[in-house]
């Protein structure tokens, strides 16, 4: 459907996206310890701290959230201009931002088991959105929409693994006595997901870059912090190179 001056503004959708973004930002402010909240790394008994599990990334990894939030803010503004929502992703964006806020509130309440269900739901929503995002028509759309939600998806893939590991640790699970082996297996699955995303959308870079970013900081955490593990650190670094390298090679091949 062509966008014309006579097209009725989709006010309900536009307002819903905007309100969802505002609620997500409020949740994030609470999540960093402002407004009386407990920092995520200290909430839920510290199960999401860098030292909690073999799959927990180092603290600098979480700076990626700032980029994702900035991108979501840009998308919120952009969608006021985009009246057609041709790829039908706006309501999925609403769901993703609300789930983001709910996850933070659940963690603040210390219910780590429920947080797993919330983040898995978020991962599903972002995956469906990724499948719907056929190649963008303009460079601005590629940057604001595809770039933002690609980073969001890639990072949530890593966060989901870390969240599940944290919940298992909270339940007293010790990895059948071989936690390093189990961590390596989980990281391999995460890398396989990253490569699958690249194969589904050849030329996509945001999602694998975010996933690679998370893997690198897991490697840093296991190489410099407790629980220290050289095998996990080396594996995470190698998988980061594999995922990002595959994405770059296929992107170059597609452009040729």
Instruction: Tell me the three state secondary structure of residue 204.
Output: coil
- pLDDT value of residue 180: 93
Which among 124, 129, 127, 21 has a CA at the least distance from the CA of 78?
21
The pLDDT tens digits of the residues spanning 35-85 come to 777 889 888 889 999 999 999 999 999 999 999 999 999 999 999 988 888
Q: pTM for the complete prediction? A: 0.92
Domain boundaries, the chain: 11-255
Does residue 227 have a cis peptide bond before it, meaning omega lies within 30 degrees of 0?
yes
Q: Are 145 and 133 in contact (CB under 8 A)?
A: yes
How open is the CA angle 140-199-180, to the nearest 5 degrees? Answer: 110
Tell me 33's DSSP state.
T
Tell me 7's DSSP state.
S
- pLDDT value of residue 71: 97
- pLDDT value of residue 1: 40
The pLDDT tens digits of the residues spanning 175-196 come to 787 889 999 999 999 999 999 9
180, two tokens: 């390093």
End-to-end CA, the chain: 31
Q: Are 76 and 251 in contact (CB under 8 A)?
A: no
95, two tokens: 């769901």
- pLDDT value of residue 38: 87
Residue 40 exposed, middle or buried by CB count within 10 Å (0-12, 13-18, 19+)? buried
Q: In the 3-class helix/strand/coil scheme, how is 173-196 assigned residue by residue?
A: CCHHHCHHHHHHHHHHHHHHHHHH
Q: Is the dihedral of CA 201, 203, 207, 212 positive or negative?
A: positive
Percent with pLDDT over 70 in the chain:
96
Place of tokens 């460079």: 139
> CA of 169: how far to CAs of 11, 15, 50, 146, 148, in Å?
45, 40, 13, 34, 31
With a cut of 50, list the residues of the chain below it in pLDDT: 1-6
């Amino acid at each position: 459907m062509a966008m014309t001056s006579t097209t009725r503004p989709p006010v309900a959708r536009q307002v819903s996206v905007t309100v969802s973004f505002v609620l997500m930002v409020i949740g994030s402010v609470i999540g960093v310890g402002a407004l009386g909240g407990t920092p995520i790394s200290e909430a839920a008994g510290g199960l999401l701290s860098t030292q909690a599990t073999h799959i927990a990334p180092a603290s600098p990894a979480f700076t990626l959230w700032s980029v994702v939030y900035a991108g979501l803010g840009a998308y919120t503004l952009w969608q006021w201009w985009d009246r057609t929502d041709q790829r039908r992703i706006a309501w999925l964006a609403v769901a993703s931002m609300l789930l983001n806020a709910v996850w933070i509130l659940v963690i603040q309440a210390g219910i780590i088991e429920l947080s797993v269900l919330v983040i898995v739901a978020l991962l599903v929503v972002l995956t469906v959105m990724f499948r719907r995002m056929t190649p963008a028509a303009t460079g601005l759309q590629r940057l604001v929409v595809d770039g933002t939600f690609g980073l969001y998806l890639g990072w949530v893939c890593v966060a989901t693994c870390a969240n599940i590991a944290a919940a298992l640790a909270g339940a007293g699970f010790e990895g059948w006595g071989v936690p390093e082996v189990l961590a390596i297996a989980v990281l391999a699955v995460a890398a396989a997901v990253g490569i699958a995303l690249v194969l589904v959308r050849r030329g996509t870079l945001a999602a694998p870059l975010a996933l690679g970013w998370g893997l690198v900081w897991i490697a840093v955490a296991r190489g410099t912090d407790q629980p220290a593990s050289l095998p996990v650190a080396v594996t995470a670094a190698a998988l980061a190179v594999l995922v990002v390298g595959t994405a770059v090679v296929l992107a170059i091949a597609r452009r040729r």
